[in-house]
Structures are given as C-alpha cells and as structure tokens.
Chain A
Amino acid sequence: MSQMTVYTARNIRTMNPSLPEATVVAVKDGRIIEVGTLESMAPWLEAHDHVVDNRFKDHILMPGFVDPHLHPTIGSMLLPCHWVTAMEWQLPDRVSPAIKTHEGFMDRLAEIERSLSDPREILISWGYHKIWHGDVYRKQLNRISDSRPIFVCQRSFHEIVANDAGIDWMEPARDELERHEQVDLETGRFFETGMFLALKSLKRIMMDPERFAQGMAQMKKLMHRGGETTVGDMAFPLTDEAFEWEMLSDNFGSDDAPFRIAITPRGINDMASYGGRTADELKRVNELEERSTDKLRFTNSIKLFADGGFNAELMQLLPPGYIDGHHGEWMMAPEVFEDLARLYWNAGKQIHVHCTGDLGVELALSVLEKLQAERPRFNHRFTIEHLGVSTPEQVRRIKDHGGIVSAAVYYVHELGEAYWHGSIGFERASQMSRMGTLERLGVMTGFHSDFLVSPPQPLKLAWVAVNRIAESGAVLGERERTSLDFAMRAITIDAAYVLNMENEIGSIRAGKLADFTVLEADPWETPLEDLKDIPIWGTVFEGRPFPIK
C-alpha cells in the first residue's frame, strides 16, 4: 500500500452537485479517498500516513476532462503531415495559425517547404479548404518546388492537389491518370473518386509504422495538452484491426501514458443478407471485448452509422434539403442499421449512432421507437453522435425515449457561416449543434472533439457551446447557447455518462479514480469569451501528476 497524498488547491470544482467546491483532495492507490477541507478530512489524515502536496495551491482542480468521441488512428495518420489550416490549431510541437486567404496559404506552404532539411521528403500538407484558401493549382505548387513532390490534402479529403514532381512520383502512369474523369492533370487536382489514386501512393507513407508511431506520440501530447484523461475511440478498428490494436497497446497501454481509452467497436458496415449470421457479428464484438484492460477498455457498446459526413456535406436532410439540391448518403442501409440495432439492443449493449443530418436523426429515432416498443429498456443510453442538423421536436423525442447525445459542438464555430451561405441557409445553419435545446429539455449530453473534426480541447468545445462564436467572430444562434454549468458537465461528468463510466470518473468524489485536470484559472471566474484560453498546467492521472512540458 502506498502513502496517501493530500493535494491542496486554490479551488476544486468537483462537478458533484452535493459538494461542488472544495480545497483539498486526498488520493491513495490511484483513487480519491476524500474531498473537502483539511479540517473535514481530519479523521482520514489522523488514521493514515500521508504527505501534503501543495504544488496546486494556486491552481484550480477539475475532474479529468473526458472526450467521448475521437479517433486516435486518424489523428496518428495525419498529425505527421504539414498542417496549413483555416482555423488555429495548437499542436504539440507547433501552432498551425488560422490562415484564411489564398496568398496566406501559398506563403505558408512555401515557408514549410523551405524549412524541410531532407530533400527527399515528400511534402504532404493537410487542412486545405477552398472556402478560405481558394483554388490551389499544380503550377502554383511547381513554383514552390519543381523537384520535391508536394501534395495538398483537403481538410475532409475531398481532393488532393499535386505538383508535377508529385504527379511523376505517383505510382500510376500519367496516361492512366489522364483518362480519369475526376483527375485534372492541368490543374493537378485529384478530386472525389480521383483522390483514391493519389491516396493509393500516399498511403504507403502515411501508414508506415514508424511515421504512424510518431503520429500517435503527437496524438498523446495533444490530448494531454487539452487536459484530457479519458477519451472514447468511437469506432474501432478504422481499417486494420491487428495493426491498430498493436499501436494502441504500445502507445496507450504503458504507465507513462496518462489516459484511458474507452473503445467502442465499429459495427459491420455492409451486410447484404445475413440471415442467421447476426450471431457471428455479436460474437465478433463480444470477443473484442475480452481484450479489455484498465487502460484500453471496452464498455459494452457498439458504434453504428446513419448518414454521411458533416464536413463532407453528406448528411441526409429532411426537406427542404440543400440549397443546391444535392443529396446526402447513408453509411449503412437503413434496414441493416435497424437489424443491427435490434441485435445489439437485445444483447443489452449501448448503441452509439453516427447522425449528422435531421433525416439521419429521424432514422435513428424511428428505430429506437420500434425497439422500445418491442423490448422496452431503461438506462440503455442510446446515443446520438454528432447531432449536426436536427429539429427541436427531435430533441424532445430523444428525451422521451431515454436517448442521450454526444455532440459535435464545434460544427457551428467552423462551418456555421459557411453552411449558412453555401449549403443550407441561415435558419438551419444558425441552429446546427443545438445545445441550448438539449439543455432546455434536459437531455444528457457530452461534448466531443471527433478529432480531427475539432481539436481535442474540451475547454474550447465548452467555449463554443456557451458563446456560439462563429469563425468570423459573430454569434450564431444565440438561443442555442448553453449555460456554463451545462457545458462544463458535458466535458466531465456527463461525458463520462456517455461512456458508461460515470461511477469511476467525471467528478471528484470519494471512491472515484483520481483523474484531475489542473487549470491556471477558474472557469466560473473567467469571462465566457475567454474560456478556451484558460492555461492548463497538466493533469493528474490516477493520482500521478503529469505536467505539460
């Protein structure tokens, strides 16, 4: 048995409404013994050996932040790329500044190119977006370098632009590229399905184990800087189960990684006809769960998908749909979704459904309603993931059927104005990520980063929710703002509830794991507009301090 450590702090925001504030927390063997004051916990202190640790006497302790939905694998693939982005991203070893003009984009890319010491390095950049950066062409990239292959990847992988050196470096011969309808060698653009030709070659670099491991190291630093101690890997595996499991185990399984990951297996994507084989699918998932460890744990959950990506404008919308008349897509056939949902519902699992548009939400809710009628369940925690575009009435139904929400709040900050002008108009764009309605109707809600959709910085997500400051700086949809309390719960105790871990983490109370996020300022004493800028000292993970270096 180890000694008890007694941390004193300027204030402890416990997120436990029964004892919301305190100044001392005692910790032993990774768990919280008691929270309160030195006086109130005197009986414990008298009975047990302890040391008083005053290093946090000027700091604010909060429960370790919980980010219930991100993708360590995607992060690890893309973090080693060179980022040139429209929004500011604070990365472990660099800041990617907000660059919102074409000239700015080209200058930054040229600057990165000049900084590369290895002349053989292939320059892969990520973060390009036409809304801000305009068109980027082959000839412009040739001016940056005519010898180094350069690939500019669009933020949500709609297109990749290459220079001539890049085109020559690629595997397929030029004439094979030339005949492709969605490749334009004149401009150097590989778009939509044409992009897969560029990716075919780039994947060799991006999935290189050494580079991937570097990416995962950066991923860990990034999560740590955001103050996160528990995250949800909300769809395992992405592609290669064995490789990803090895990478996760190596990088997150060790003692020096101050995180635990709640892993949700990805439901099978395409089953055309599977009479009698649903049992196999359940078995596959149950077998994955047997791998569960303290740090990489499965929580009796499953990830299913309704409609397409929000950043890709592939969400399925109820009328009146998109301004340009295009349609979204289904990631799973609705009948397959229903059958799989029934399978996991009846097996007692928590179902997380990726829903980005209001028609996607409609599908998830209509299935939930059926399942409740067939075999009622309490405390099922059927989770709507993302909730991009939705209606207030749908939020009411989520509540009525006992559903909960893991919300992508950042959408409104990055895309609110862009979708107002270019996609769905003001009314629905200003109400995307309708957190205010969730609060008014009392729906249990966690906020997630879905990294790389948004930075894994829970304070930044809370900042978006309470302010709804869009990327221009204007407030978008003020009636959908939330209170500070709601937002802070959504990154701690309520996010823990989404991951079915609220008994162990998410608040500071006796018996829970001793995970804290250590802040330099108190969110309740900080102007709401400055919430995202509160400096983070580091975290405490299961009792051990991990300062940000």
Chain B
Amino acid sequence: MTTRIPITILSGYLGAGKTTIINRLLSGDHGRRVAVLVNDFGAVNIDASLIETEDDNTISLTNGCVCCSIGDDLGAALDAQAARHIPPENILLEASGVAEPKRIATHVGFWPGFELDALIVAADAETVRNRANDKFVGQLVRSQIRHADIIALTKTDLVGPEAARGVKAWLRNQVPNARIFEAPNGTLPVALAFGADRASNALSGPVEPAPHSHLRTVMCVPGTGLSRAGLARAIEALPSSVHRVKGFFRDLETGRMTLLQCVGRRHEFLEAPTDTETVLVLIGVGSDTEMNGAMDLLTASDALEADPKSTFAARISD
C-alpha cells in the first residue's frame, strides 16, 4: 500500500479565485491536516485567531493545517513537507497562473514520496470566456481548462444564474464531459479537493458532510467482485455530475483486492492490501437519482453473476 502523500493541484489563470479558495480551505474546520503550498505568500489572508505560529515562509494554523511559500524550488518545497515531524495528509499546491497544468502535474505527481490526486482548475465565470479568446493568454487558459480533472467555477454569484448556465454550457463545449463544481464564494469542500478520507478503513465510517455545498457522497458495498475492464467502461459512461470515485473491490480476473481511484475523467487501478473491505464511494453534484444511477452503473459493471439482492448500499446525501 502506498504511503505517498497525495497532491491536489489548484491551477487556473490570474484572478480565477485561487487565493480565495485557499484562504477558505486553510481556515475551514474540516479535520484534515493539509499543507497548502502557495506562490504568493503575501496574498494568504487568514483570521489571526486561527494562526498558531508564523514565520517568513510558513504559517501554522490551530486546525493542523500549514501554509508554505513554494519559493523557486518546487521539489525542495515538497521535500520539506515530507520531512516534517508529522507529514501532512494532503497537499494542496497552488500552480502559478501561467503554468501548464499537465507539466506541473507530472513534476509533482512523480516527485519521490508524492502522488497526484487531482488537478482542479479554477475558472472565473465572469471572465473565463474572454480570457479564453485573449490574444496573449487564450491558448493557455483553454489548455488549463482542457486538462482539469475538476473545474471549480467561481464568482457565479456575480454573474447570475442564467449567465452561469451559459458559461457551463460553454465549458462543456470546450471539454466534453467536463466535471464542473460551482464555488461561488470560493468554497471547495475537502471531499472534493482531496476525496474521501484516505485511510482505507475510514471509508466505512461516516462520510463527512459538506454543509455549504450541493456536493453529495454516495457509498455502496458491492456484493461481488468487479472487473477492471467493466469498471473502466462504466467510468467512461458516468454522468459529468460525478466528480470522484474511490473504492476497494475484489478484481474478478485476479481475485486480488484492488483500489480504484477516479477523479474527473481520469482513473487508475492500484493493488490494495488483502484485508481491505470492499466499498465504493462516489462524490459529485448530481441529484439523488443521478448519483444512485451512477452507483448502479458501477456495481453492475461487470458482473455477469452479480446478485442485486446481496448488494448492501448505504447512501448518504446532504
């Protein structure tokens, strides 16, 4: 089982709302030890009462999170996190506004001791369409959006519901099957940013609610093994309202316990410890019907002899 620290990259062009997302995530009461690595340390703005210690390039918060400046050596900034007395559970890395997300994902996702979890790209509902046509940065902004696992659409409250729908339609046109999450005031739920709790057994515990959002979590214990090929096909067919899938299942072909991690349109299968319990968790923004339908699609995804009656499904939504 991997002990690598998962990294979520927060990309997006200038003014897309990355800093607001970071400020909210850092000061949120979410119970996870997150390290946030930022380019622009001076822009971080946190209620002083939450700050435990602060020096030139690190702020430690009372909720267990830290915020550190990346400086000019990204690898060294990551090494410093891995070397901490208690390393963080998750890292949120703020990409530079002009970074090609795919390049930074390769850089940090394969850094020794780390792995890529998700590539989230913030897009500003007010300006993203203009920016995408800009003479100087249009190509970059379109590329950032295209490579997103999840698009965090910010400032939707400023443009109104109709314009927000227009932007979403436009985004879907740019990126078929784009996973879009509306984050009007910059709130990015930790379940969306980092997925279900990474400790394997925590999946069977209560799933953390995301009170301020329309995010839903659906959990299910498939009664049979599943096939990788079948799951891969089902993932392709998932509605764009499902942003993340994580689960442990017994691989029908090999009989081994396997970990499925899926963020947006990207997924991977990894070996899991043999004593892991079977479970699938979906995180998304669909209606109950849509989310349950998606779960059915996955659990039926192969399984020639799956018996629906033996499937115990715990479904939680807020």
Contact = CB atoms under 8 A, between A and B. Distances in A.
Contact of A334 (B38, B72, B136, B139): B136
Interface stretch (A15-23, A154-162, A194-202, A492-500): A194-202
Contacts of A333: 13-14, 96-98, 137
B302 interface: no
A77 to B, nearest CB: 14
A272 B97 contact: yes
Main secondary structure of the interface of A (DSSP, over half): loop
B15 A334 contact: no
Contacts of B40: 270-274
A193 B98 contact: no
Contacts of B103: 192-193
Contacts of B113: 176
Interface of B: 13-15, 18-19, 38-40, 42-43, 72-75, 94, 96-98, 100, 103, 106-107, 110-113, 135-137, 139-140, 143
Nearest to B76: A200
B261 to A, nearest CB: 15
Contact of A182 (B19, B74, B106, B137): B106
B98 A331 contact: yes
A272 B43 contact: yes
A183 B110 CA distance: 10
B42 A280 contact: yes
Contact of B112 (A173, A182, A363): A173
A329 B100 contact: yes
A103 B297 CA distance: 58
B143 to A, nearest CB: 8
Given A176-B112, A333-B97, A273 B15 contact: yes
A377 interface: no
13 contacts: A176-B112, A183-B110, A193-B110, A196-B107, A197-B112, A269-B96, A271-B40, A271-B43, A272-B94, A272-B97, A273-B14, A273-B19, A335-B15
A239 interface: yes
Nearest to B110: A180
A516 to B, nearest CB: 39
Contacts of A336: 14, 97
Interface residues of A, number: 37
Interface of A: 171-173, 176, 179-183, 192-194, 196-197, 200, 239, 269-274, 277, 280, 316, 327, 329-336, 359, 362-363
Q: Which of A183, A196, A362 has the most CB of B within 10 A?
A: A196
A324 to B, nearest CB: 15
Nearest to B39: A270
A1 B14 CA distance: 59
Nearest to A240: B72
A280 B40 CA distance: 13
B44 to A, nearest CB: 10
Contacts of B107: 193, 196
Contact of B140 (A172, A274, A330, A363): A330
Nearest to B74: A196
Contacts of B100: 329
Nearest 7 pairs between A and B by C-beta?
A: A193-B107, A180-B110, A176-B112, A172-B112, A272-B40, A270-B39, A330-B98
A176 B113 CA distance: 8
A169 to B, nearest CB: 15
Contacts of B106: 181-182, 192-194
Nearest to B70: A270
Contact of A272 (B18, B135, B136): B18
Given A179-B110, A192-B106, A196-B107, A334 B137 contact: yes
Contacts of A363: 136
A336 B98 CA distance: 10
Q: Which of B40, B98, B107 has the most CB of A within 10 A?
A: B98
Contact of A274 (B18, B42, B136): B42
A334 B19 CA distance: 18
B29 to A, nearest CB: 25
A13 to B, nearest CB: 43
B110 A239 contact: no
A308 to B, nearest CB: 10
A433 to B, nearest CB: 23
Contacts of A171: 112
A173 B136 CA distance: 41
Nearest to A339: B14
Contacts of B143: 327
Contacts of A197: 75, 111-112
A273 B16 CA distance: 10
Contacts of B38: 272
A197 B142 CA distance: 29
B41 to A, nearest CB: 10
A303 to B, nearest CB: 15
Given A181-B106, A270-B96, A200 B75 contact: yes
Given A196-B74, A273-B15, A327-B140, 5 more contacts: A181-B110, A200-B75, A273-B19, A273-B43, A316-B136
Given A271-B40, A273-B19, A274-B42, A335 B110 contact: no
A332 B18 contact: no
Contact of A329 (B43, B75, B98, B112): B98
A469 B241 CA distance: 60
A415 B232 CA distance: 46
A298 to B, nearest CB: 21
Given A192-B103, A239-B73, A272 B39 contact: yes
A330 B136 contact: yes
Q: Which of A181, A193, A331 has the most CB of B within 10 A?
A: A193
Contacts of A335: 14-15
Contacts of B112: 171-173, 176, 197
Contacts of A277: 42
Contacts of B75: 196-197, 200
A272 B98 contact: no
Nearest to B103: A193
A277 B14 CA distance: 16
Nearest to A194: B110
Contacts of B98: 270, 329-333
A272 B14 contact: yes
